[in-house]
Amino acid sequence: MKLFFVSDIHGSAYYAKKALEIFKKENADYIVILGDELYHGPRNPLPLEYNPQEVITLLNGIGDKIIAVRGNCDSEVDEMVLNFPIMSTYSTIFYNGKRLFLSHGHIYNEANLPKLSSGDVFIYGHTHIPKAEKSGDIFIINPGSISLPKENHPNSYGILEDDVFKIKNLEGETFKEIKIR
């Protein structure tokens, strides 16, 4: 199974379209959205082509392929217009014998990790900063932000396939990678 990870779309129709183009190009099985789908948030600038209504239409078009969690900018109203659930603060996927713990990062994060077992993978968004590392016996991964990257990082997404998590720029070039074996 191949999983496509994206975080922090923040209502950008431009980057939502890019994400869906890349999802198809990567030929992934599912999209995992790590929160902040529609609203840009009061601390962020307006992203390119800010248009939450268009993002709703784009995401709803593939709602059967989306696994999502709630971000700090997401609300119950957002779930009313999206045809896939987003209001859980976390989700779990079992992948090749490993637990992937998915969170946006505003509740569970590196400073407040959930109870994880040795070898588990904590995947989050929120910071807009890509990360792929092992801390003790836990893997910690952040695919960065598709629309509003921070600290001079590129717009990015993640791919998990064959126990390798790659963080790529929008041209598909891998710039961070970790084996989760």
Tell me how far CA of residue 76 lies from CA of 87, 90, 106, 161, in angstroms. Answer: 7, 15, 17, 32
* pLDDT (0 to 100) of residue 45: 92
Residue 153 belongs to domain with CATH number:
3.60.21.10
- Structure-token match 């975080």, residue found: 7
Report whether 155 contacts 15 (CB < 8 A).
yes
123/67 Cα distance (integer angstroms): 13
Buried b (16+ CB within 10 A) or exposed e, 58-90: bbeeeeebbbbbbbbbbeeebbeebebebeebe
* pLDDT (0 to 100) of residue 23: 98
Report whether 60 contacts 24 (CB < 8 A).
no
* pLDDT (0 to 100) of residue 152: 97
Q: How many helices (H) and strands (E) does the chain have?
A: 3, 11
Give residue 29's domain range.
Answer: 3-179
Question: How does residue 105 score in pLDDT terms, banded at 50, 70 and 90?
Answer: very high
Percent of the chain with pLDDT over 90: 97
| H or E element in which residue 177 lies | strand 174-179
Q: State the pTM of this model.
A: 0.97
* pLDDT (0 to 100) of residue 119: 96
> Is residue 41 scored above 90 in pLDDT?
no
* Strand 3-6 relative to strand 30-33, pairing: parallel
Number of domains in the chain: 1
Q: What is the pLDDT of residues 120-151, one digit of tens each?
A: 999 999 999 999 999 999 999 999 999 999 99
Instruction: Report helix angle 13-26 to 52-60, nearest 10.
Output: 20
Question: How does residue 53 score in pLDDT terms, banded at 50, 70 and 90?
Answer: very high
